[in-house]
Structure 1
Amino acid sequence: MSLLNVTNLGKRFGGNVAVDGVSFSVAPGELLALIGPNGAGKSTTFNMVNGQLAADSGSITLAGQELTGLKPRQIWKQGVGRTFQIAETFASLTVLENVQMALISADNRLFSLWRRAADHKADEAMDLLRQVGMAAQADRPCSVLAYGDVKRVELAIALANRPKLLLMDEPTAGMAPKERNELMALTKQLVLQRGLAVLFTEHSMDVVFAYADRLIVLARGRLIAEGTPAEIRDNPQVQAVYFGTGKTFEKKAHA
């Protein structure tokens, strides 16, 4: 049974049709990759699901609840977590404090002084850090972390409100191949443990084909294909539109 259902989603910018009648679904425990060439409408679609852009037409539902028209904060409260292409953390705070701040936000609690918030759900924050392999660095400021570790902290923050759906925008951007694989393997593990649904965009085809359960492919705002990695890899239309004549996924993935 699907958790996220997107139906006939549409968006225009002036006379330009950015997204044209796109429909797809994501089930609990599934990683769905949203791919396509530049200008395909990936970011527009992704940002409509998250509420950063308002859809002109169509419907977005999460567990039967309509998300269309809601603001990002409202969507977050419905159980949608998000990570960003450029990791967003408080650089001056420690790893533990960053996760505590996310837990404070999830609880709708406000603290006038950090001193009063310092003990808020420290055990729960540490548990999240253990899940992403960052417990040993809990007391370090985020400003001194390697970028791959910052991305792990961001993942812990995204899990703080116990999301049903996780949106990941270019999760491995700027990371070395080893870090990319470690982060996505961790994400896959958490998806299975928590029964999360994940929608992610990604330019690294090695990541997409190694970790996505299904792919949807956009071109010029329209959905042109969906299926398993093997089905998409062998789809002539996808190869022609996405990579151009004479190129294949294998060549692109290892370029």
Structure 2
Amino acid sequence: MSLLTVKDLGKSFGGVKAVDGISFELAAGELLALIGPNGAGKSTTFNMVNGQLKADRGSISLDGQELIGQKPRSIWRLGVGRTFQIAETFQSLSVVENVQMALLSHDQKIYAMWRRAADYRRQDALALLDQVGMLAQADRPCSELAYGDVKRVELSIAMANSPKLLLMDEPTAGMAPRERNALMALTKKLVTERGMAVLFTEHSMDVVFAYADRMIVLARGRLIAAGKPLEIRDHPKVQEVYFGSGKTFEKAGTKLGGA
């Protein structure tokens, strides 16, 4: 049964159709990669699912509940988490305080600062950090962390609302190969343990082919292919969009093995 169902989704900016009638489904416990060349409509699709943009047409349903027309905060409270291409944390706060701020927001107590944030659900915040391997650094300022660790903190923040669906926008951008694989292996583990779904965009094809259960490919706002990684790798239309004629993902040096 599908957790997320997107039907005939469309969005235009002036006369440009950024997203033109795409449809797809995503099940719990599944990692779905949304890929495509620059200008394909990936970010627009993401922002419509997250509520930052309102679709011109179509439907986005989470567990049978329509998301179009709802604000990002409401969508977040329905169980949709998100990480960003550039990790967003409060650099002046400690690692655990960043997670506590997310818990405050989820509990709708972000404006009730009569209680010290440092005391708020600390054990719950520490448990989230433990899941991403950051418990030992809980009391360090985020400003002192390596970038790969900041991305782990961001992931724990995204988990603060116990998401059914996690949106990850270029999760491994700016990371070294070892860090990329470690973060995606962790994400895969959390998906399995929690039974949540992940929709992610990614330019590193080694990450996509190693960790995605399925892939959907956009070009000029339209869905041109959907299927398992090996099916997409050999899809002639996808290869044409990415490389033109005569090249494949393998010839372009894409790593197709595991982590």
Distance 1:234 1:170 in 2: 23
Equivalent position amino acid for 2:254 in 1: A
Partner of 1:172: 172
Partner of 1:9: 9
Equivalent position amino acid for 1:246 in 2: G
Partner of 1:211: 211
Residue deviations 1:160-200, cap 9 Å, x none? 01110000000000000000000000000000000010000
Aligned residues: 254
2:254 equivalent to 1:253: yes
Q: Is the 8 A contact 1:60 1:66 kept in 2?
A: yes
Distance 2:115 2:186 in 1: 33
Distance 2:73 2:44 in 1: 18
Change (3 A) 1:92 1:50: same
Secondary structure in 2 matching 1:188: helix
Equivalent runs, 1:24-173 vs 2, <5 Å = 24-110=24-110, 113=113, 116-173=116-173
TM-score (norm 2): 0.96
Residue deviations 1:144-175, cap 9 Å, x none? 10000000000000000111000000000000
Residue deviations 1:212-254, cap 9 Å, x none? 0000000111100000001001111110112222221122525
Q: Is the 8 A contact 1:205 1:252 kept in 2?
A: no
TM-score (norm 1): 0.97
Change (3 A) 1:51 1:111: closer
Mark the runs of 5 or more structure 2 residues left unpaired by the alignment.
Answer: none
- Tell me the CA shift for residue 111 of structure 1: 5.5
Equivalent position amino acid for 1:229 in 2: P
Distance 2:50 2:110 in 1: 24
Secondary structure in 2 matching 1:39: coil
Equivalent position amino acid for 2:17 in 1: V
Secondary structure in 2 matching 1:126: helix
Change (3 A) 1:7 1:122: same
Secondary structure in 2 matching 1:249: coil
- Tell me the CA shift for residue 117 of structure 1: 2.0
- Tell me the CA shift for residue 110 of structure 1: 3.4
Change (3 A) 1:118 1:187: same
Residue deviations 1:115-169, cap 9 Å, x none? 7221111111110000000000001000010000000000000000111000000
Partner of 2:200: 200
- Tell me the CA shift for residue 113 of structure 1: 4.8
Distance 1:232 1:14 in 2: 32
Distance 1:114 1:175 in 2: 39
Mark the runs of 5 or more structure 1 residues left unpaired by the alignment.
Answer: none
- Tell me the CA shift for residue 36 of structure 1: 0.4
Q: Is the 8 A contact 1:8 1:59 kept in 2?
A: yes
Distance 1:99 1:114 in 2: 18
Distance 1:212 1:114 in 2: 44
Q: Is the 8 A contact 2:101 2:110 kept in 1?
A: no
Q: Is the 8 A contact 1:34 1:199 kept in 2?
A: yes
Distance 2:98 2:73 in 1: 18
Q: Is the 8 A contact 1:86 1:173 kept in 2?
A: yes
